[in-house]
Amino acid sequence: MPWARLLSLVVAVVCLAGCGARQVQAAARDQSGTFAYGGLNRTYTVHVPPGPPVGLVLSLHGGGGTGTGQQGLTDFDTIADTSNLLVVYPDGYDKSWGDGRGAAPADRRRIDDVGFLVALVSKLQNDFGVPHGHIFATGMSNGGFMSNRLACERADLFAAIAPVSGTLGVGVACNPSRPVSVLEAHGTTDPVVPFNGGDVRGRGGMSHAISANSMVDKWRAADGCQGAPTARVLPDVGDGTLVHRFASTSCAAGTEVVFYQIDNGGHTWPGGKQYLPKVVIGATTRAFDASQVIAQFFLAHGRD
């Protein structure tokens, strides 16, 4: 075989092997993990984007759910891959989070979920080289309550949060050490976490939540937002819901507080799966995709 042809063949083989390796490395992937904390082996799934992560999103399931269930409900990975967001879906203790209301199994067991989630996020930030100031949290229901608690207690770490169908427990302290950008989405006919606050019947028994408006006002005050929020109505898509968007942009340190009030919306993830019949959890609005809106909000509110 002529040397030139042999050299070309060798180069082609090396290139194929090398290019193949790079393609594998560049492909988005899921990996499961176990993290020891507080005497327990906690589990999680992390979704790794195709490129170097520009931020880390902690996505928390609702009561009775799992990390992979939250992953399927939200389809957040599809959005995250386009912007290279690393997403972690941890599993709560006995399918619950210790959000401070006292009723969930994790609260009853006195699980330190703030400590666990902060430690997990810090580990993944180091493992994947996530830039400082670009750590975010979102969650559904019990996970929404938990994301609020994380921002209340660890505003130094979480630059922005996006609770969905979750507020704060009555009497849960919220004195953030610095401003945090907040996006909240809540249905006015949520049968599980009442829009106007009150009793929440969960797996662990009865707890009490503040209203969605009270939670949003609490964050506006904490962030020093000035003036009345700007209001607009999203286009009516004919699904029986109507979405009002209230945005407070004149807030400290460049933060924003955005509230999506979903008239006739239920205990659901906007744009996500209708995971139970409407008669049980209410309607899922199709007027906006919460995962897309949340990802865009996080990307716009990292800290330098």
Q: List, for residues 176-194, the tens digit of each pLDDT value.
A: 999 999 999 999 999 999 9
Contact residues for 266 (Cβ-Cβ < 8 A; gap 6+): 187, 189, 190, 191, 278, 281, 282, 283, 284
Structural domain contains residue 40: yes
Query: Which class for 72: exposed (0-12), middle (13-18), buried (19 or more C-beta within 10 A)?
Result: middle
Domain that holds residue 193: 29-300
Q: What is the arithmetic mean of pLDDT over 219-223?
A: 98
Which one is predicted more confidently, 158 or 22? 158
pLDDT over 50 (residue 15): no
Tokens of 91: 């599993």
What does the alpha-carbon distance between residue 141 and residue 62 come to, in Å, rounded to a whole number?
5
Total domains in the chain come to 1
Q: What is the pLDDT of residue 90?
A: 98
Mean per-residue pLDDT of the chain: 92
Q: How far apart are CA 254 and CA 273, in angstroms?
A: 33
Q: Are 137 and 145 in contact (CB under 8 A)?
A: no
**Cα(146)–Cα(167) distance, integer angstroms:** 9
Please report which confidence band the pLDDT of residue 202 belongs to, taking 50, 70 and 90 as the band edges.
Answer: confident
Assign residue 64 the CATH number of its domain.
Answer: 3.40.50.1820
Contact 292, 81 (CB under 8 A): no
**Residue 82 vs residues 90, 188, 289: alpha-carbon distances, Å:** 22, 32, 15
140-164 b/e with 16+ CB inside 10 Å = b? bbbbbbbbbbbbbbbbebbbbbbbb
Predicted confidence band at 9 (pLDDT cuts at 50, 70, 90)?
Answer: very low
- For residue 249, tell me if it sits in a domain: yes
Note the pLDDT tens digit of each residue in 203-216: 888 999 999 999 99
Do residues 298 and 85 make contact, with C-beta atoms less than 8 angstroms apart?
A: yes
d(CA 207, CA 210): 10
Mean pLDDT score, 101-112: 96
pLDDT tens readout for residues 287-298? 999 999 999 999
Asked whether residue 22 is assigned to any structural domain, the reply reads no
225 — pLDDT class (breaks 50, 70, 90): very high
Mean per-residue pLDDT, 153-165:
98
Each residue's pLDDT tens digit, 19-28: 443 444 479 9
Asked if the structure places residue 176 within a domain, the reply is yes
Q: What is the pLDDT of residue 45?
A: 98
- The percentage of the chain sitting over the pLDDT mark of 70, rounded to a whole number, equals 92
Is the residue at 241 inside a domain? Answer: yes
Q: For 41-65, how does the pLDDT look when each residue is reduced to its tens digit (9 = 90+)?
A: 999 999 999 999 999 999 999 999 9
Residue 191 belongs to a domain: yes
- Cα(31)–Cα(189) distance, rounded to whole angstroms? 37
pTM exceeds cut of 0.95: no
The amino acid present at 277, given as its one-letter code, is P
The pLDDT value recorded for residue 203 is 80
Given a cut of 50, whether residue 150 has pLDDT beyond it is yes
Quickly tell me which residue has 């249905």 as its tokens: 187
pLDDT, mean of residues 110-135: 97
Residue 248 included in any domain? yes
Give residue 71's pLDDT: 97
pLDDT score of 130 more than 50: yes
Q: Is 160 part of a structural domain of the chain? A: yes
